[in-house]
Amino acid sequence: MEKKLNSNLNKNLKENENSNRKHEEKICANCLRIFECKVGSIQLCQCTKVELTRSESEYLASQYNDCLCFQCMEALAFEYRMTRRLLELPWEL
Q: What is the largest CA-CA distance in the chain?
A: 84
- Mean pLDDT for the stretch of residues 26-52: 86
What pTM value is reported for the model?
0.65
Q: Would you place residue 16 in the very low, low, confident or very high pLDDT band (cuts 50, 70, 90)?
A: very low
24 beta partners: 37
HEC profile of 20-71: CCCCEEEECCCCCCEEEECHHHHHHCHHHHCCCCHHHHHHHHHHCCCCCCHH
The Cα–Cα gap between 56 and 61 comes to: 9
Residue 91 has pLDDT above 70, yes or no: yes
